[in-house]
Structure 1
Amino acid sequence: MSKLHIYGDHIDTDIIIPAHYLNVHDPEELKKHCMEGVDEAFDQRVSIGDIMIAGENFGCGSSREHAPVVIKASGISCVIAKSFARIFFRNAFNIGLPVIESSEIVDEVSPDDKLSIDFKSGKVINETKNKSYTIPKFPDFMMALIEAGGVIPYIKEADNV
């Protein structure tokens, strides 16, 4: 079960990771600045396996891959939003960060709720409220990307076969 970090609509890539950190390429350094535009204490509260919840148009703005990289590096296991900017959505899968679009889940969760996610069965369970949600199962190739940790590890793994 995971702790939730809840944000609103139109969280853009500058909020996720401010542009003046784009010359930093070390995910460990970057994660110290994740979400600092709206939540200065995020890096101190986040734990491995936590889930980020957001409203409409999450990840809008520039196409920088730093945004999903820093979210994943911070320990977030999944982002659930009402909708995603298309480029963020694809970049997230490219680096192995699962994202789920679900207005129902976003509208019904509370900050203290604990969620568990089973991507293979297509289920999100709100353990606190004893409620289950069905989500579309990821296609096999997208699950393979997530399990490998992203496109680069997936390709490296395939080259070793």
Structure 2
Amino acid sequence: MPTVHVFARDHINTDEIIPARHLTTDVEAELAKYAMEDYDKDFVRRVQPGDIIVAGADFGCGSSREHAVWALRGAGVAAVIAPNFARIYYRNSINNGFLALECENVVETFMDGDPAELDLAGGTVTNTRTGQTLTFVPVPQFALDVQKAGGWLEYMREQDQNRQDQNQPQQEEQHA
């Protein structure tokens, strides 16, 4: 079961998610070492694959760097849940197949270290310590498809392959 890491402050910017001094690579495993470093130096030692970040409003404001998404994903974070996101961060999340879930009152519902259950199909997140369940803004099917594929580029490769596969029998029939 995922553990929740609460960053309750509003307006956590991309430089706090991954400080600019570490933008010398685009390798997620390298970026992950410095995720949230300027906000919480111990975060990368505590986070486990599948964990969730709960954050205040306007998460990911600041620059448009995709590195912020890559650093969190590389650290094993499965999703960030916040009341809302900076638009560029939200779009970068979708493009990279990373879950950015909008949910009111999420900061008030969780404490750092709480276990959570995330139900994407049902659109809910549950604090299993307290039993409290919140509903988040539904994730568009398109975003889920991109996430399932592993990101926008992988999604487009799948779409191209599907189109080629669909055209293949027609081409074979024409040659017969």
Task: Give the distance between the partners of 1:135 and 1:61, measured in 2 at CA.
Answer: 24
Letter in 1 for 2:6: I
Cα 1:112–1:46, aligned 2, differ >3 Å: closer, same or farther?
closer
CA RMSD of aligned residues (A): 1.2
Aligned-pair CA distance for 1:35: 0.5
Aligned-pair CA distance for 1:27: 0.9
Task: Give the distance between the partners of 1:14 and 1:156, measured in 2 at CA.
Answer: 31
Partner of 1:158: 159
Aligned-pair CA distance for 1:43: 1.2
Task: Give the distance between the partners of 1:61 and 1:50, measured in 2 at CA.
Answer: 24
Give the TM-score of the pair, scaled to structure 1. 0.94
Partner of 1:119: 120
**Which SS does the other structure have where 1:33 is aligned?**
coil
Residues paired across the two proteins, number: 161
The answer for unaligned runs of 5 or more in structure 2 is 163-176
The answer for unaligned runs of 5 or more in structure 1 is none
- Identical residues among aligned pairs (%): 40
**Which SS does the other structure have where 1:47 is aligned?**
coil
Give the TM-score of the pair, scaled to structure 2. 0.87
Give every structure 1 segment of 4 or more consecutive aligned residues whose post-TM-superposition deviation is greater than 6 Å.
Answer: none
Task: Give the distance between the partners of 2:139 and 2:4, measured in 1 at CA.
Answer: 22
Partner of 1:6: 6
Query: Alpha-carbon deviations, 1:74-125, whole Å to 9, x = none?
Result: 1000101122111001101110111112222221111232111111121212
Which protein is bigger by CA-based radius of gyration?
A: 2
